Amino acid sequence: MKLAVCDDDMIFLKQIKKELEAYYSSLDIGVETFTLATELLEAVEKNPYAYGCVFMDIEMPQMDGMEATRRLKALNQSLPVVLLLLRRYSYLERIPLIYQGKEGRKMK
């Protein structure tokens, strides 16, 4: 299985790839990274079932993570997408997200 990570922050992209590879080191799981949502969408268009899960940044140039997620779901409805939020949110700012049922989102 392969995981996809899409984020325009190269430092974060390298960090999360390293952490995912370390976490899944005992399994046959690869991590592929993308800096633009359009690049990820092209890869998924070629093979809609290539990835077992996608980690998606919300704010990116050209196409934001929400629009990219809508397009990914049009290609593969069963593809899990984990939305990543910016670091600037403090714990207190995250509380409304929790009450809105968005507690599954990871803060960067």
Q: Domain coordinates of the chain in residue numbers? A: 2-107
Residue spans of alpha helices (H) in 29-89: 37-46, 65-75
- Indicate the CATH number for domain 2-107: 3.40.50.2300
- Cβ-based burial of 7 (10 A; exposed 0-12, middle 13-18, buried ≥19): buried
For residue 81, the model assigns a pLDDT of: 94
Write down the pTM of the prediction.
0.77
Structure tokens at 51: 């990835």
- Cβ-based burial of 54 (10 A; exposed 0-12, middle 13-18, buried ≥19): buried
Q: What is the pLDDT along the chain (108 residues), one digit of tens a residue?
A: 999 999 998 988 998 999 999 999 899 899 999 999 999 999 999 999 999 999 999 988 899 999 999 999 999 999 999 988 765 544 444 444 444 444 444 444
For residue 12, the model assigns a pLDDT of: 86
